[in-house]
Structure 1
Amino acid sequence: MLRTLQVCFRRQVWRSVHSAAAGERSRRATAGAARRTVRRSGGRSCTVDPNLEEQFVFLDCPGLEEDPNEEEQALHQLCISSAPGLGPDPQVSSQKHMRSLERQLQVLKGRALQNSGPDSFIEFQDMDFPLDESIIKSKKKKRAEPKGEHRVFGTPDEDAPVSDTSCSGCGAILHCTATDVPGYLPSEKFKVLLEEGKLGEATCQRCHLITYHHKALNLQVTRDQYRDVVRQIRNHKALVLLIADLVDLPDSIIPDLTDLVGTNKHVVVLGNKLDLLPGDSPNYLQRIKQRLAQYCQDAGFGPQVTDLHLISAKTGYGIEALISSLQRSWKYKSDVFLVGSANAGKSTLFNALLESDYCKSRANKVLQKATISPWPGTTLNLLKFPIINPTPYRMFRRRERLKEALQQTEEELPVDELRRLQRLGRRAYLVGRVGRTFRSDGSRSDEIEFDPDSLAFGENRDGDSTKKAADRSHDELSHNELKDAHWLYDTPGIMKQRDIVHLLQEQEVRLVVPTQAIIPRTFVLKPGMSLFVGAMAQIDFLQGGKSCWFTVLASSRVPVHVTSLDKADSIYKRHAGHALLGVPLGGPERMEQFPALVPQDFSLEGRGYLEAAADITLSSAGWVAVTAAAGEQVQLRVHGPAAAGFGLRMTPLLPHIVSLKGQRVRKSAAYKPLRPAGLIDGLSAAATQRLQVKKKK
């Protein structure tokens, strides 16, 4: 069929060229007669002859079940009908048929547009009678995409070879063969970047959608594939930085860490997302640290733990103390790996360390930041940056910079830093300052640029002094900078077996996963009442002698509803998927896909109205602290999806959280929420207090 079309196309070109002269004379005579007629009648001109039958050319796309002989006959008739002299305007008709043949060839070769339909191959010549603009605009409207799905732009090319370049955002190998495989780029963009040699600077389409459009594409990646990447650490001498999500303890701690990284590794545990947790007492940080150490001990890798830090990779709290500790203890022995469960904040910490004294002074200008998102499994392969060698001189200069930063007042802070602290102070409880002691980009041309990373290697192989390193390009790191260098690696997150995030859609994940400071919401319930945390969890207060306080520590975008136990089922059936319960979204159609709630019964013993008895954990969504009278026996029934992993934490993480409640709302079971004061790390107490006063005003 392709050969037949090519022959017909060449024959049509030859005939159109030789018939152009005769067609031109005929066209001029017809046009002159038409103009004289128009002048006599005073009407508008038209290029369509009403005495001739209008001809349309359609592209035939036969299916697999049609007879191939019929295709050849149709093509033969198409070539005959395109002969000159059969239409009102041979030249226009021939050009029209040639364009149709070109499109047919493109379809057969696989280059036609995916959205082209039969109507796009119809060509009209009514130039003097344009269509109504409203009709044109209505046809140009975008086709509504199904809810929860995103359009994959561009076209794949299955025959194109896979590159050897990794995505700078997630670490996946870049290619253009399949849209649902990690590292996909449209073939139109992939081939251009490959020819220009700029593929190493590109990110895959998935990272682009996550970063700029807050959309996530579903990929065919299994839990075992994530774990296989992390198992590469077993054969290396390395330091493991284990990141645990403090909002999801103890489920965010990997139980079989030794099976993944080996038993011969030193482990530094980092409790991340500390900025989201309110302080329920003056010593709450020490208590959280003790709880985290106990959970690591219960997981079986306690003897390997050499240090433990509480940090916030997002706001920078505790990052400078972590860097100083690593430079003092681990120094420059070997590589460092970030390991943790999905959505624990590894990529955010990777980006924070990339902009700090832990990274070589020029690497942050060359390497791109990792892609971060609230969706689990964003990082698909190993990302890395070179670690700076903490020489005594560098350590001395770093200590001096930290002392000067601690003595700064509010008026001495740079404008950008002051705005950053004020912005983060409204969204977090704990904020830190992360800076750089050495920079390789001088602001004045007459200054001698001092680059400790390059000067530490002395002279290169050619005998030239490394002083020339100040004039080199910022496009890539030199050989001397990478020679004998150690690296910090960001690994893919280990997917948890049970998590509420796996059951939610894209927009629902953004609502459920906390990204700002959690403001506790407290409610008082009597026996026979129920509390809904969205449509994801239902907590029934079955038995108890006195009322109990239920403090919800979850995202403020998830609604909380309190009702009686006998009305709970009807309210869930009527409002699940709607605004009252909020999450999931989408009405009855969405709730048909959402799994049914499975009940679990728990028994608690109250410890008094100043200390919570236990926490009902809601996996990545947070938890609900239950506070009851001392010695009171409380019977609870928790409804939730079986795959969500809801459970009971007998040792509360914030036992005095009930103290952070305001006055009772009149004729309601709710209390007015209160937000405790925060703290800025790396700033004097007086400057921190002045910033807090400004924030309150």
Structure 2
Amino acid sequence: EVLLGHLSFFFPDPGLEEEPNEEQQVLHQLGVSSAPACGPRPQVSPQKHLRSLERQLQGEHRVFGTPDAGAAVSDISCSGCGAVLHCSAADVPGYLPSEKFKVLLEAGTLGGATCQRCHLITHHHKAQNLQVTWDQYRQVVRQIRGRKGLVLLVADLLDLPDSIVPDLPDLVGTNKHVVVLGNKLDLLPGDSPNYLQRVKRRLAQYCQEAGFGPQVTDLHLISAKTGYGVEALISSLQRSWKYKGDVFLVGSANAGKSTLFNTLLESDYCKSRAAQVLQKATISPWPGTTLNLLKFPIINPTPYRMFRRQNRLKEALQQTEEELPADERRRLQRLGRHGYLVGRVGQTFQSRTRADEIQFDPDSLSACSPASGADGSPAELSYNELKDAHWLYDTPGIVKERDILQLLQEQEVRLVVPTQAIVPRTFVLKPGMSVFVGALARIDFLQGAKSCWFTVMASARVPVHVTSLDKADGVYERHAGRDLLGVPVGGPERMERFPAFAPQDFSLEGRGYLEATADITLSSAGWVAVTAVPGEQVQLRVLGPEAAGFGLRTPPLLPHVVSLKGERVRKSSAYRPLREKKKQNQARF
């Protein structure tokens, strides 16, 4: 394990953080009984417990229970983030209040617990600040250097090329093949009929520029959230990598590794019974959710299993929407409202029983593998099931050195990170005008003979405001932190802590009315595509926090996105947002 001082990465239990109205409800949630849970301890009054809870605050979030610095650290990891569970310090990953930690440890049920941080993220959508450095994330990933395996490099398509880990061979070693996965494809609108092939070529080019070389053996475009492209990925892995060694999910923070981990956990890539036994990884919009190595056993793609799987996929391709099960149809409809591309991910060997037939799980034929425990819950995986198993590991996300999310607070991150299909917002600007993307970035149109189009590809919850260049400073001073610019949130007090803007100047040459010349990348907040008339010389100034890592991307990722601008709003610089027709490719894998 990687150490934090004298403590390992620590992995919280549900039911601790709901703020109660009465004293006894608080103590019941903490699992505190009148008898000592672990060894002799003095009785503590409910009033003293409540005063202790009032004193323990983590940022904006209350931390219930008390730490015990003298308690030994466990050897059990949180099933949500991978940190080792402990009750020593509330600001160290894996913290569980001592009242709950000791009860679970005494009962022998600590293995099913999740740390307090994971519970806050999963059930309350709250992020808890922890003492984990950028180097410590990388040090965990370096644990896999000497191990044989395959690396699945997950890249965030909304943050190219910055989401591609530049020094991957140094982190994971040069002894591994790499399969590159462009994730979050469901959020990107199609700007032309061949846009998928173009995005794939751009991703391959960025990987080559990052120096990956011949290690890259394949590349896929997927959506871990909606399932698009995941079945094709599984088939490719089972055909090529087969069962040669372990597989490691690697990538930048917030690229979607844990979401993909959970999707693969409930697919044909995972041993069929493991999905019932293992818990899912914690996912959130906040970078750095996974703190250590989570894993599940990979299924051995024997010829029989591959044959059964191919039959299931063929049957699924022939199904119409009306023939789908009601729950699957509702899932596709729900995801279709949030993403442009939707796929289906299933399990060939999941238990499906009918009155006239008997179904069985091939993995359950191994010796000593009962289907369930004494209480009816899924049993532990047996020794025979795991003795020769290979594993898929979810590694911690590599936190980028320059990222706008590192400058934002919890509520602001939730506003900035897109969770639904991005609807392009296009504005026509004359020279001497400025466009604000929230209070995160400002783009000044300094010089040019004719108007240009600026297409904002960012979360719909981040406002866009257009003004004249001479009024831009005043708009920022009056409205940054307020409703007009939206993000950051908190008024003048918040903006006092937000970094000052630093300017970057760019010169561009127009390529035509329907083709962007470049993208102004706004780190994890998206980008702005600039479209100018052919041959037009354009001078722009981009202002934003220096630590955010804003820059210029040429060629643009979606050069024809301006064609989705819709009709012009009369007497304004804006075009009506035009959402592309939904593409629910329900039978596509």
- TM-score, reference length from structure 1: 0.76
- Secondary structure, counterpart of 1:664 in structure 2: coil
Query: For residues 393-451 of structure 1, what are the alpha-carbon distances to aligned partners after superposition, in whole Å with 9 as ceiling and x for unaligned?
Result: 11111111111111111221110011111111111000000001002x45468854422
Which of 353, 363, 372 matches 1:453? 363
Partner of 2:496: 592
- Measured in 2, the distance between the counterparts of 1:258 and 1:560 equals 40
Question: In structure 2, what is the Cα distance between the partners aligned to 1:197 and 1:450?
Answer: 31
Conservation of the 8 A alpha-carbon contact between 2:435 and 2:464:
yes
Alpha-carbon contact 2:225-2:259 (below 8 Å) kept: yes
Partners of 1:449 and 1:608 in 2: CA distance? 61
Give RMSD over aligned pairs.
Answer: 2.1
Measured after TM superposition, the shift of residue 145 of structure 1 is 11
* Distance in 1 (alpha carbons) for counterparts of 2:359 and 2:451: 69
SS at match of 2:208: helix
Can you list the C-alpha shifts for 1:626-664, whole angstroms capped at 9, x where unaligned? 000000000000000000000000110000000001111
Within 1, Cα distance between the matches of 2:78 and 2:426?
45
Residue 567 of structure 1: CA displacement? 0.3
Greater helix share, 1 or 2? 1
1:522 touches 1:658 (CA, 8 Å); kept in 2? yes
SS at match of 1:220: coil
Cα distance change, pair 520–579 in 1 and its aligned pair in 2 (3 A) = same
**Superposition pairs for residues 81-160 of structure 1, below 5 Å?**
113=48, 115-116=50-51, 149-160=60-71
Supply the distance in 2 between the matched residues of 1:636 and 1:651 (Cα, whole angstroms). 17
Aligned to 2:15: none
Correspondence for 1:480 = 384
How far apart are 1:679 and its partner, in Å?
2.4
CA distance in 2, matches of 1:269, 1:230: 17
SS of alignment partner, residue 680 of structure 1: coil
**1:283 positional shift:** 0.2
The corresponding residue for 1:402 is 313
Residues 249 and 317 of structure 1: is their aligned pair in 2 closer, same or farther, counting only changes over 3 Å? same
Find the counterpart in structure 1 of residue 135 from structure 2.
224
Once residues 674 and 470 of structure 1 are traced to their aligned partners in structure 2, the CA distance between those partners, rounded to angstroms, is 51
> What is the one-letter code of the residue matched to 1:180?
D
Aligned to 2:431: 527
- Check if 1:619 corresponds to 2:554: no
1:313 to 214, 224, 228: 224
Cα 1:584–1:294 shift into 2, 3 Å: same
Native 8 Å contact 2:343 2:588 kept in 1:
no
Match of 1:172 among 77, 80, 83: 83
Looking at structure 1, the residues matched to 117 and 355 of structure 2 have their Cα atoms a distance apart, in angstroms, of 40
Q: CA contact under 8 A between 1:242 and 1:267: conserved in structure 2?
A: yes
Compare 156-165 and 245-254 and name the one that shifted more: 156-165
Equivalence for 1:186: 97
Q: Is the 8 A contact 1:449 1:470 kept in 2?
A: no
Question: Who is 1:50 aligned against?
Answer: none
Separation in 1 of the partners of 2:572 and 2:499? 31
TM-superposition CA deviations, 1:252-287 (whole Å, max 9, x none):
000000000111210000000000000000000000
CA displacement, residues 219-276 of structure 1 (integer Å, 9 cap, x when unaligned): 0001111111100111100000000000000000000000001112100000000000
Q: Equivalent of 2:258, from 344, 347, 360?
A: 347
In structure 1, the gaps of 5 or more residues are 1-104, 118-141, 461-465, 686-697
Measured after TM superposition, the shift of residue 681 of structure 1 is: 3.4
Amino acid at match of 1:501: L
Structure 2 counterpart of 1:613, one-letter code: T
The amino acid of 1:193's aligned partner reads: L
Deviations, residues 151-174 of structure 1 (Å, cap 9, x unaligned): 111111111111110000000000
Instruction: List per-residue Cα deviations over 1:461-516 (Å, max 9, x = no partner).
Output: xxxxx7x7457762211111111000000000001010000000000000001110
Question: Paired residue for 1:603, among 498, 503, 507?
Answer: 507
Distance in 2 of aligned mates of 1:159 and 1:300: 48
Aligned partner of 2:535 in structure 1 is 631
For the residues of structure 1 that align with 2:186 and 2:55, how far apart are their CA atoms?
39
Q: Is the 8 A contact 1:244 1:253 kept in 2?
A: yes
Q: Does structure 1 residue 654 correspond to structure 2 residue 558?
A: yes
Secondary structure, aligned partner of 2:576: strand
Q: Does the CA contact (< 8 Å) of 2:520 and 2:527 recur in 1?
A: yes
Deviation per CA, 1:85-129: give whole Å up to 9, x if none.
xxxxxxxxxxxxxxxxxxxx969x999825549xxxxxxxxxxxx
Q: Distance in 2 between matches of 1:375 and 1:395?
A: 37
What is residue 342 of structure 2 aligned with on the other side? 431
CA contact (8 A) 2:57 2:63 kept: no
- 1:471/1:611 CA distance change after superposition, 3 Å: closer
**CA distance in 1 between partners of 2:538 and 2:225 (Å):** 38
Partner residue, 1:537 = 441
Q: CA deviation at 1:149?
A: 1.6
> For 2:140, what is the secondary structure of its paired residue?
helix
Q: For 1:33-432, list aligned pairs within 5 A.
A: 113=48, 115-116=50-51, 149-432=60-343
By how many angstroms is 1:302 displaced?
A: 2.7
Work out whether residues 228 and 588 of structure 2, in 8 Å CA contact, stay in contact via their aligned partners in 1.
no
From 548, 572, 576, the equivalent of 2:476 is 572
Q: Percent identity?
A: 79
Residue 556 (structure 1) aligned with residue 460 (structure 2): yes
Give the alignment's TM-score, normalised by structure 2.
Answer: 0.90
- Distance in 2, Cα, partners of 1:377 & 1:593: 22
Question: What corresponds to 1:665 in structure 2?
Answer: 569
Offset from partner CA, 1:350-369 (integer Å, 9 cap, x none): 00000000001100000000
Summarize the Cα distance change of 1:510–1:145 in structure 2 as closer, same or farther, 3 Å threshold. Answer: farther
Amino acid at match of 2:161: P
Contact 2:72–2:86 under 8 Å retained in 1? yes
Q: In 2 relative to 1, CA 106–145 (structure 1 residues): closer, same or farther, beyond 3 Å?
A: closer
- Give the residue type in structure 2 aligned to 1:279: G
Which amino acid in the other structure matches residue 451 of structure 1?
D
CA 1:567/1:406 → structure 2, altered by over 3 Å: closer, same or farther? Answer: same
CA distance in 1, matches of 2:372, 2:337: 42
Distance 1:217-1:471 versus aligned 2 partners, 3 A rule = closer
Using a 3 Å threshold, how does the CA distance of structure 1 residues 156 and 475 change in structure 2: closer, same or farther? Answer: same
Alpha-carbon distance in structure 1 between the residues aligned to 2:415 and 2:193: 30
From 497, 501, 509, the counterpart of 2:405: 501
The 1:197/1:446 distance shift into structure 2, 3 A limit, reads farther
**Looking at both structures, which has the greater relative contact order when contacts are Cα pairs under 8 Å and sequence separation is at least 6?**
2
Cα separation, 2, equivalents of 1:625 and 1:110: 62
What is the rounded CA distance, in whole Å, between the counterparts of 1:207 and 1:445 in structure 2?
41
- Structure 2: distance between partners of 1:658 and 1:498: 28
Determine if contact 1:374/1:509 at 8 Å carries over to the other structure.
yes
CA distance in 1, matches of 2:502, 2:475: 17
Distance in structure 2 (CA, Å) of the matches to 1:526 and 1:145: 53
Aligned residue for 1:679, secondary structure, equals coil
Distance 1:472 1:371 in 2: 25
Work out which of the two has the higher radius of gyration on C-alpha atoms and give 1 or 2.
1
Equivalenced residue count is 546
CA contact (8 A) 1:603 1:636 kept: yes
Q: Structure 1 pair 637/145, CA: closer, same or farther in 2 (3 Å)?
A: farther
> Matches of 2:411 and 2:56 in 1, distance apart?
15
Aligned partner of residue 396 in structure 1, secondary structure: helix
- Please state whether the residue corresponding to 1:662 is helix, strand or coil: coil
Q: Structure 1 residue 678: deviation in Å? A: 3.0
Aligned-partner SS, 1:598: strand
